[in-house]
Amino acid sequence: AVHSKKGMDATQKMNPFAEQEAWEDHQIGKATLNFGAKNKEATDNYQFVFEDQIDFIKASVLAGENYEDEMLPVTGQSFSGKSSFEMLQDVRKTLPIYSYRDQLLKAIEDHQVLVIVGDTGSGKTTQIPQYLHEAGYTKHGKVGCTQPRRIAAMSVAARVAHEMGVKLGHDVGYSVRFEDCTSEKTVLKYMTDGMLLRELLGEPDLASYSVIIVDEAHERTLSTDILFGLVKDMARLRPDLKLLISSATMDAEKFSNYFDAAPIFIFPGRRFPVDVSFVAAPEADYLDAAIVTVLQIHVNEPLGDILVFLPGQEEIENVEETLKNKIRGFGTKIRELIICPIYANLPSEIQAKVFEPTPEGARKVVLATNIAETSLTIDGIKYVVDPGFCKIKSYNPRNGMESLLVTPISKASAMQRSGRAGRTSPGKCFRLYTAYNFENDMEDNTVPEIQRTNLASVVLALKSLGIDDLLNFDFMDPPPAEALVKALELLFALGALNKLGKLTKVGRKMAEFPLDPMLSKMIVASEKYMCSDEIISIAAMLSVGSYIFYRPKDKQVHADNARLNFHTGNVGDHIALLKVYNSWKETDYSTQWCYENYIQVRSMKRARDIRDQLEGLLERVEIKVSTNFHNLDLVRKSIVAGFFLHTAKLQKDGSYRTAKHPLTVHIYPSSGLSQVVPRWVVYHELVLTSKEYMRQVTELTPNWLVEIAPHYYQLKDVEDGASKKLPKATGRAMA
């Protein structure tokens, strides 16, 4: 058993509500705190706190009151005689934020910039834009609301369109990378923070907006942090623009200080007590532990849905598969358990399933990434299983290596996760780590992304906005200077910046593409090599990620053979991706063809959409679409023009060594080149699993490096010991 009796006892003694109290104490404490005194206007700075409400909740929590009879009506519950539209209006009125509607609107009217803090699920994202619309703010411009995640932007927009009884894409729309679902009529626009950043490139004063809401500000994504600096400036330039910074956590003081002592509007959510338990001893395998815990809950606990936090898609698919098998084993001995995965890459039809009400007598288990921590609220969750891990990007500016690692979460994350269990009724949270781990090993907060990521693409965006002095940009938390310098060096190497750090013509074109600068450079370079048609197909396929081929457990051999068919000629994975795309196109985008070749239809359709958009952007930067499928050398040269920093050379022991900042790497096992081991390769990305692997690898001729990037490679870099022993690479046999 994962939760030994001993472990449970230990936690029971620990006062299960301790966290909740701490939170509420904090909230009350804040009302009396004098903060944000950055300038003399600080006297103007105040907070809206509704202490009576908090006292009520706190008292009830302490008394351990049962909230059962106060259960909120949830979507789908029937209200006799009412239309579904009216029912939804009733549901809107039950959200915690509703009681503060008028006070909130008054505060927005009185202040240009306002920081808003409220619990996850209290209605900030779905209601505030509607309140603004009802109050007339959309008469003179749009209300834009940013989300760190595309899936949140899409699902929230759909929900709001539904609540307003309008068609998605008309009055309410969303805009995410490669997908714009808005129209002339759109007045409430949900978008990713990255998209607003891109919109700024075309509309630097955001003239078409009357209100900007930077939502989920606590997530502190790279784009959100950059937006902070830009919208802060804009608020000064445009006194008519309202700026709302909304957050689910208590670090509002920091936001307030940053935005010139903006007032903070805090409203309490409706929280039910959550019984939090830790394991007594560390778990050896957290996935296993998660599965056992879910089954224990399902068998032993009263009805109510379960939410399990897992690091990523792979882990979710694993757990889903194992759970399905175990449930099948139980047969009809246990009640129905509906398994709903949710992660960013999941197709929207399946995503929608998680919001459907659970049928009577059944239980739903939601397997989610961090996305369910604050961005998405799923009704009916009573149990949370928290293994304590998430996938976090980290960046080493010294060698420019970026990696996505499974890392322990922060204490703040752990609290958010447990809070998900007590939104509509009292709940339980099972932490699959020890209380000692929580206290001693977890950081208080997650480090903001800006301090642990490659900055090349935001630096390019800022440069094209005319912001040249990056060291003095008004960052809330500045990135390491080393990372900024590295980004400038990279953009210089790619030819996007000149020696003075100014944007070049190439850089201007690159900035038009919503892609990583190396991919953008590859596309811009394809003009010279007259193969833009092939290159945008490759770029689109790479953007879809690693979900092109599928490999069903019972047909692995067939699937592998089908995949290898695209590798004939063996010059590399990029070319194989191109062949997949072109073959699919030749069948007139046939679904049947995808099935026969073990290819994910949905990924292909997405690739086609992305490709269409890239084609439109080619036109915008005046690059002709030219095709050169019979000279794949030119296609490979374009790839090298974008990725010459990502090259590696074969070593005697069969491993590879990256060219400039030596690091031992390997070809990813599923690569078409893993058995071929060419002498020099260019790779798309490095992934760290058991070893450092290069994913999407293509063979190159070393002389190309000197030809294409003479400022970066000299003859001595590519002529070496190895070339003396091995026969010189001659013209490649092409497929």
List residues binding Mg ion (CB under 5 A).
124-125
Would you give the binding string for ligand CDP spanning residues 343-382, x where CB under 6 A is met? ------------x---------------------x-x---
118 binds ligand CDP (CB under 6 A): yes
- Per CB under 6 A, the segment of 123-131, 183-191, 259-267, 298-306 that binds ligand CDP is 123-131
Please spell the DSSP secondary structure of 532-577, one letter per residue: HHHHHHHHHHHHH-S-SB---GGGHHHHHHHHHHTTTT--BHHHHH
* Minimum distance from residue 652 beta carbon to Mg ion (Å): 55
Please spell the DSSP secondary structure of 163-226, one letter per residue: HHT--BTTTEEEEETTEEE--TT--EEEEEHHHHHHHHHH-TT-TTEEEEEE-SGGG--HHHHH
Partner that binds at residue 122, options ligand CDP, Mg ion, none, CB closer than 5 to 8 Å by kind:
ligand CDP
* Minimum distance from residue 124 beta carbon to Mg ion (Å): 5
Rounded CA-CA distance 310/530 in Å is 45
Partner that binds at residue 549, options ligand CDP, Mg ion, none, CB closer than 5 to 8 Å by kind:
none
Cβ(365)–Cβ(337) below 8 Å: yes
Partner that binds at residue 388, options ligand CDP, Mg ion, none, CB closer than 5 to 8 Å by kind:
none
Rounded CA-CA distance 577/598 in Å is 13
- Per CB under 6 A, the segment of 48-56, 119-127, 273-281, 475-483 that binds ligand CDP is 119-127
| Residue for token pair 């031992």 | 664
Nearer to ligand CDP, 211 or 523 (CB): 211
- Per CB under 6 A, the segment of 46-54, 121-129, 440-448, 710-718 that binds ligand CDP is 121-129
122 binds ligand CDP (CB under 6 A): yes
Considering only residues 311 to 350 of the shown chain, the ones binding ligand CDP according to CB under 6 A are: none
Nearer to Mg ion, 104 or 621 (CB): 104
414 binds ligand CDP (CB under 6 A): no
The SS3 call for residue 579 is helix
Polymer length of the chain: 735
Backbone angles phi, psi at 657, to 5 degrees: -130, 130
Pick from 95, 294, 617, 682: which binds ligand CDP (CB under 6 A)? 95
Pick from 53, 60, 75, 99: which binds ligand CDP (CB under 6 A)? 75
Partner that binds at residue 121, options Mg ion, ligand CDP, none, CB closer than 5 to 8 Å by kind:
ligand CDP
Retrieve residue 197's tokens.
């950043």
* Minimum distance from residue 416 beta carbon to Mg ion (Å): 12
Nearer to Mg ion, 149 or 636 (CB): 149
Rounded CA-CA distance 295/425 in Å is 21
* Minimum distance from residue 413 beta carbon to ligand CDP (Å): 15
* Minimum distance from residue 374 beta carbon to ligand CDP (Å): 7
The SS3 call for residue 313 is helix
Pick from 121, 388, 422, 514: which binds ligand CDP (CB under 6 A)? 121
Would you give the binding string for ligand CDP spanning residues 137-166, x where CB under 6 A is met? ------------------xx--x-------
Alpha helix stretches (DSSP H) within 238-347: 252-258, 286-300, 313-330
Element (H, E) at 647: strand 647-650
Please spell the DSSP secondary structure of 410-477, one letter per residue: PHHHHHHHHHGGGSSS-EEEEESS-HHHHHHHS-SSPPPGGGSS--HHHHHHHHHTT---GGGS--SS
With CB atoms as reference, the residue minimizing the distance to Mg ion is 125
Q: Which residues contact ligand CDP by CB under 6 A?
A: 75, 95, 118, 120-127, 155-156, 159, 355, 377, 379
